[in-house]
Structure 1
Amino acid sequence: MAASTGQNSVKHMKWWGWGVEGVAFHFDDKPKFAPFVKKAVGLDLTGEAPPTSVDFSQLVVPAAKISDDLMTQLKGTVGEEFVVTDDEDRVVHTYGKSIRDLLRVRAGDFPRVPDVVVYPGDNDEVQSVVDLAVAADAVLIPFGGGSNISGSLEPPPAETRTVISLDMGRMSKVLDIDEDSGLATVQAGTQGPDLEEQLNQRGWTVGHYPDSFTHSTIGGWVATRSSGMQSDKYGDISDITRGVRVATPGGPLALRPLPSTSTGPSVREMILGSEGRLGVITEVNAQVHRLPDERVILAYFFPTFDAGLEAMQEISLLDSRPSITRVSDARETGFTMATAKKSSAGQAILFKVLKRRGWDLDKMCLSFVGFEGTKQHVSRQQSEVKEIVKKHGGIGVGKGPGVLYDQKKFDTPYIRDFLLDWGGAADVSETAGPWSRLKDLYYNTIQAANDAYEELGIDPGWVMCHLSHSYHTGACLYFTFAFVYGDRDPMPLYDKVKSAIQQSFIDNGGTLSHHHAVGTEHSAWLSQDISPAGSKIMKGLFAATDPGRNLNPGKIC
């Protein structure tokens, strides 16, 4: 949908689910999907399909609470058409897109919604809105693309003050490219596809592709310490972000895009992952790269997940590191194959060959490795990776699966909406840990999820995982879990499984989140993650910057 603000054409996802209206997951051309889902979570998809949307007219949306004086001031700052109190616009800005968010919005559970949505057009307007919010003792929540899944967007349920959602969608331009330095100045509301389109037109790329790429913004990436599918080459957003401009209660904060500094504790690092608690990010100075001459994603199979992990660790030490290193466990490999169209004859022959070699196809794991650069560099990378894959018992299966992965990599969130329609819940938790702890972290987390399912009487429940984002010292493990709730209240079931997974991360040497931020969803584990002293320092930082708790209160800590 587009925002209902006349001249404003800011793009929003549908209020009740992921992505845009008219786009949804279907399995008509995926013959293995229904049998797979039946086996994985016990859900029978052979009956009549349920409705795929929710009727907004049936919802009861609390009335907006904002004084005439503040409304007048906001309109005078950004223009009347960019100050919106329309119910659907306010609902769009109430939650993110976690399973908790989707369950609540479908149920019409709105303990608190923003009272007004404001669309600023430039840095000065953002600063003025921040100043107005503080002066009026209102709550201000920055909004990018609305893709957050950690509870970073919702107003505090008991909040009695006026809540302003500050939508950055009008600020969506690449303002400048310093070609000598490889730096782009980008407005914070620029969504992933628009960013790459503007950069590509001039021969550049930022190289950052999170799962939410099609509906998230560069400002949101910075505010949540995002990571992307090509972070092995281009770095996480913390590496990409060299400077920022932030509207704060004390005036504009401007951090120049310097290559490195020794100027005390890093204020840049404080802004990264701050989720709007320290101010509203308005501009980002991002390091950019020339578009590569060649880009290839190849697929590999490993006989076990352990073999895949060991290969990814060795690949991470190469001088010519690939852009993508990803390996799915056997469960996720099965899921990936179930979402594909009809198998080819070549695939059937390959599986017969692997069985003759002694492979247990139920343990087989699919991997993708991406290569970028000059033709010579890509050739060298492929050769080095081929030797490592062979050393760990793997086999290359060519470009075909990699092409399909590249085409479909942003479509998976649509499956959550599909499952919700059928009475199933699915969500994700991700972590990062050192290589020495990674296998224990993986196996113990799988066990923790399954133990939670057993305690809840959910049989079968589902949990799967892939490795992504490899580093010198460790890697990210990304878990997806799913279950059918039927006639039961899904929220306590979700809480039990989610909590078991999160606690396992901490108990087994991982972090509470690698790239999905803290929000409210993960705040219970913050002190365990960074120690009570670290949590105290963070609370002190927020209190000093925002003593009135006007900026996105209740998030992180």
Structure 2
Amino acid sequence: MTDVKHMKWWGWGLEGVGFHFEDKPAFVPFVQKAVGLDVRTPPVPPLSFDELTVAPPRLSPAFEAELVSIVGEENAFTDDKTRVVHTYGKSIRDLLRIRRNEIARVPDIVVYPGDEHAVQQIVDAAVAAGAVLIPFGGGSNIAGSLEPLADEERTIVSLDLGRLDRVLDIDEGSGLARIQAGAQGPSIEEQLNARGWTMGHFPDSFTHSTVGGWVATRSSGMQSDKYGDIADIARGLRMVRPGTVVELRPLPSTSTGPSVREMIIGSEGRLGVITEVTVQVHRQPAVREVQAYFFPNWKAGLAAMHAISESDAAPSITRVSDARESGFSLSTRKESKGISGAAQNVLMSVLKRRGWDLEQMCLSFIGFEGSASHVAYEKKLVGAIVKKHGGLGVGKGPGALYDQKKFDTPYLRDFLLDRGAAADVSETAAPWSKLQAVYDDTVAAAQAAYAALGVHGWIMCHLSHSYNSGACLYFTFAFVHGDDPIAQYEVVKSSIQQAFMTHGGTLSHHHGVGVEHAPWMAQDISEGGVALMQGLFDAADPTSQFNPGKVLGPRQLTASDVAAIVADAPR
């Protein structure tokens, strides 16, 4: 039996870990107001695994024997649970389908190679057998990048990289680390930190995602303002293809034609199996802290983040939540007593006396890293910008709490699903000049979708991942669903995605494309761009055996298509 650990088959994270509201007195009234749900309602747990309908594997004895000979009997699985674990990622659509026993197609066998040579053997055997290969990292993807096509009749092999989990080498003179593709976030940082280094890449999925998955989906982390997105961090890589290995050396810059590295980053397994990534690493900072700030409204917070991006300050995190998300964040605090509770009451009284509408107040977190003098200098610069835009610093206490809880939010989706509510996220990036329009239209589009569905819904947003020319807007939406939750979700999700397109945003800033976002690719990169990308996939994989259907998908949507989806919404 392999030692690779996986998330629970029906939800996020590990068994026994979940969201609890009993110590958060503001949470119950907040959710009641936001989506009309009383969270004290007894939960309806997911099905037991024995209630699932799982089709038997479509696998010839000869091909199975060949794969077993490569990885060993202890690393090849055809049992139902292992196959189901490797069927979906963790999008709300994935979680709804698994809870409703809607499993159209599962992998036929799951294999865990122990080194690159075994990966090469698996790839070559699968291609020769006419099988489909789907690389699997941590299983955290929320864009449909892992699921087999429902009508796939060929044998499907899920190639789990979980045994390839080591930091192989650190070039300390260059700040470069070679890391096997199956290494997950906590393991990577533990191995790097032991030698005084950090990768600095902390996506929401950090605790259950891999460096190979980050590269394959073009991930971004919470500290990307300082360390860059994964496309900036990944300097070299190795990728197994039929009969060969693509090896890209970690050079600082090259002028060698179209970038093969860029072709692979974000390719979601369509071009081959990533086995190793060489990443830029940094010495651990002497000082690291996250400061909290309040702004009187979203417009002021947005302007402040823009000003910080243009300043000499270079924080590791620049994040501001709109009033709705700020209200949510405050609702998830534990009850404050004694001096802490009194201080919060005094602060709110001071803001009221200043004329603030507390219903419009926006919470911001800004991170600082480096030497003590550097951090002090940047805090001074940022403090002046915050003050200029009417904001107020409230210290590092709330920031420390944010830092501790930053990976816990996904557990809330399972909590809400147990109570008949669906919650999910969509994120985009756009130029600074277009962000307000993207924000306004997206909120309006979601509210129109809720009206079409006849449901009480909620949408909230934060700005993160700032660049010189623009920033990421990250939306979270939720509603109490009816008897056809996936169809209702499609209405809301499509409306939000189309709003991104209408005002010049991108279909996804860091969650990848998969099948969820593929319908908007032509609007995002143009029909000519889609044709060019399709040509790449066709040339690299003419028999469509590497994770088919991802990124481009079978159908492109137009704005009128989305309008029709909303008009036909189930009520």
Structure-2-length-normalised TM-score: 0.95
Amino acid at match of 1:450: Q
Distance between the aligned counterparts of 2:367 and 2:430, measured in 1? 22
Runs of 4 or more, structure 1, over 6 Å off, are none
SS at match of 1:112: coil
Equivalent in the alignment of 2:485 = 490
1:434 Cα offset (Å): 0.2
* Structure 2 gap segments, 5+ residues each: 553-571
Q: Of the candidates 290, 314, 317, which is equivalent to residue 321 of structure 1?
A: 314
1:40 matched to 2:42: no
1:44 Cα offset (Å): 1.2
1:320 Cα offset (Å): 3.3
Q: Of the candidates 327, 346, 350, which is equivalent to residue 334 of structure 1?
A: 327
Amino acid at match of 1:79: G
Range with bigger deviation, 463-472 or 488-497: 488-497
Distance between the aligned counterparts of 2:517 and 2:242, measured in 1? 26
Q: Of the candidates 337, 358, 362, which is equivalent to residue 359 of structure 2?
A: 362
Q: Of the candidates 393, 398, 414, which is equivalent to residue 396 of structure 1?
A: 393
Equivalent in the alignment of 1:447 = 444
Q: Deviations over 1:456-478 (max 9, x none)?
A: 111x2100000000000000000
1:75 Cα offset (Å): 1.0
Amino acid at match of 2:531: K
Q: Deviations over 1:28-83 (max 9, x none)?
A: 10001011000000001233x22444310111111011011111111111112111
After superposition, residues 221-236 of structure 1 pair within 5 angstroms as 221-236=214-229
Equivalent in the alignment of 2:561 = none
1:288 Cα offset (Å): 0.1
1:250 Cα offset (Å): 4.5
1:455 Cα offset (Å): 1.1
Q: Of the candidates 517, 527, 532, which is equivalent to residue 527 of structure 2?
A: 532
Kept after mapping to 1: 8 A contact 2:35/2:480: yes
Distance between the aligned counterparts of 2:284 and 2:294, measured in 1? 29
Equivalent in the alignment of 2:559 = none
Equivalent in the alignment of 1:468 = 464
Distance between the aligned counterparts of 1:73 and 1:316, measured in 2? 55
1:80 matched to 2:77: no
After superposition, residues 18-33 of structure 1 pair within 5 angstroms as 18-33=12-27
Kept after mapping to 2: 8 A contact 1:52/1:418: no
Kept after mapping to 1: 8 A contact 2:203/2:221: yes
Amino acid at match of 1:226: S
Distance between the aligned counterparts of 1:349 and 1:288, measured in 2? 43
Q: Deviations over 1:153-192 (max 9, x none)?
A: 0000000000000000000000000000000000000000
Kept after mapping to 2: 8 A contact 1:249/1:546: no
* Structure 1 gap segments, 5+ residues each: 1-5
1:513 matched to 2:505: no
SS at match of 1:185: strand
Kept after mapping to 1: 8 A contact 2:136/2:160: yes
Q: Of the candidates 189, 197, 204, which is equivalent to residue 197 of structure 2?
A: 204
1:316 Cα offset (Å): 1.1
Distance between the aligned counterparts of 2:504 and 2:43, measured in 1? 42
Kept after mapping to 1: 8 A contact 2:313/2:382: no
After superposition, residues 11-410 of structure 1 pair within 5 angstroms as 11-47=5-41, 49-343=42-336, 344-410=341-407
SS at match of 1:452: helix
Amino acid at match of 2:361: M
Amino acid at match of 2:87: T
Range with bigger deviation, 275-284 or 76-85: 76-85
Structure-1-length-normalised TM-score: 0.98
1:437 matched to 2:430: no
Equivalent in the alignment of 2:567 = none
Kept after mapping to 2: 8 A contact 1:427/1:482: yes
Kept after mapping to 1: 8 A contact 2:120/2:241: yes
Amino acid at match of 2:424: D
Q: Deviations over 1:322-350 (max 9, x none)?
A: 00000000000000011111142111110
Distance between the aligned counterparts of 1:50 and 1:372, measured in 2? 42
Distance between the aligned counterparts of 1:115 and 1:108, measured in 2? 18
- Report the RMSD for the aligned CA atoms in angstroms: 0.8
Amino acid at match of 1:88: K
SS at match of 2:487: helix
1:128 Cα offset (Å): 1.0
Distance between the aligned counterparts of 1:491 and 1:230, measured in 2? 33
Equivalent in the alignment of 1:478 = 474
Equivalent in the alignment of 1:3 = none
SS at match of 2:165: coil
Q: Of the candidates 407, 410, 413, which is equivalent to residue 410 of structure 2?
A: 413
Distance between the aligned counterparts of 2:17 and 2:364, measured in 1? 28
Distance between the aligned counterparts of 2:497 and 2:289, measured in 1? 35
Kept after mapping to 1: 8 A contact 2:238/2:277: yes
Number of residue-to-residue matches in the alignment: 548
Equivalent in the alignment of 1:499 = 494
1:317 Cα offset (Å): 1.9
